[in-house]
Amino acid sequence: MSALGGLVAVSLGLGLAAASGFRVFLPPMLLSGGINLGWISPVGQLSLLDGWGAFAVLFAAVILEVGSYLIPWIDNLLDVIATPAAVLAGVGMMGSVLGDFDPIVQWTLAIVGGGGVAGTVQVGTVATRAVSTGTTGGLANPIISIFEAIMAVFVTLLALMAPLIGLVLVIAGTVYAVRMIGRRKKTLPMTAPMA
């Protein structure tokens, strides 16, 4: 694999992992659709997404996930499950597109890069939703959830069509999420140490 090919694969993987931080099932569903339409070659682990049956299962999961996030307070409960699921999805999405890499390099990059980016984006969405719940009583959460779903679609499509541009946006989004997390930690009340 050429250096440019490796950079494109890593960029694609990071983009798909970041999109998984917004919504767990949307990126694999869109990737499955691209494979089924012949836009993407189902190489290696991507062959698991080949076939309209896989697409249908992922589509049903997307409907349940997006629909559940539209219900205030339930969306906050889902974050307990969605955070580790997003990290696993990020690892899986990145690892699946790095099939030409040595397996140790492939899965190290997938765990550190894919899992890290997906987890950071997911924690940023959790912090945003927590602020929304605290300030609006959860009334603005459906709007935030719709925005997150749109971002998942946008980042996935960008990663598939222009992975290098997607990499720049993933880096910018990760920096934003880290700053949001930092602000959230500063606003949490400090407790006095127990004597």
* 182 belongs to a structural domain: no
- pLDDT for 132: 86
Give the DSSP per-residue string, 32-63. HHHHHTTSS---GGGGGG-SHHHHHHHHHHHH
- 3-state secondary structure labels for all residues of 119-141: HHHHHHHHHHHHHHHHHHCCCCH
Quote the domain boundaries for residue 34: 17-174
Which residue has 């906050």 as its token pair?
76
Q: Domain for residue 184, yes or no? A: no
Prediction pTM value: 0.79
Mean pLDDT of 153-180: 82
Q: Cα(156)–Cα(57) distance, rounded to whole angstroms?
A: 18
Number of domains in the chain: 1
Q: What does the block give as tokens for 26?
A: 């949307």
Of residues 56 and 44, which shows the higher confidence score? 56
On the question of pLDDT at 94 being above 80, the answer is yes
Inside any domain, residue 120: yes
Q: Does residue 82 fall inside a structural domain?
A: yes
What pLDDT sits at residue 16?
A: 92
Q: What's the start-to-end Cα distance of the chain, in Å?
A: 60
User: Residue type for 185, please?
Assistant: K
Considering the domain boundaries, does residue 130 fall inside one? yes
Q: Locate tokens 């603005």: which residue?
A: 140
Q: Determine the distance from the C-alpha atom of residue 115 to the mean position of all C-alpha atoms in its chain, rounded to a whole number.
A: 9
Tell me the per-residue pLDDT of 26-38, one tens digit each, with 9 for 90 and over: 999 999 998 899 8
pLDDT digits over 110-146, tens only?
999 999 999 999 988 888 888 888 888 888 888 998 9
HSE-up of residue 59 (Cα within 13 Å, Cβ side): 8
In a domain, 185, yes or no: no
Does a structural domain hold residue 35? yes
Distances (CA, A) of 22 to 37, 59, 136, 156, 192: 24, 16, 21, 10, 35
Q: Is residue 191 part of a domain?
A: no
Instruction: With both helix axes pointing from N to C terminus, report the angle between 141-161 and 74-97 in degrees, rounded to the nearest 10.
Output: 10
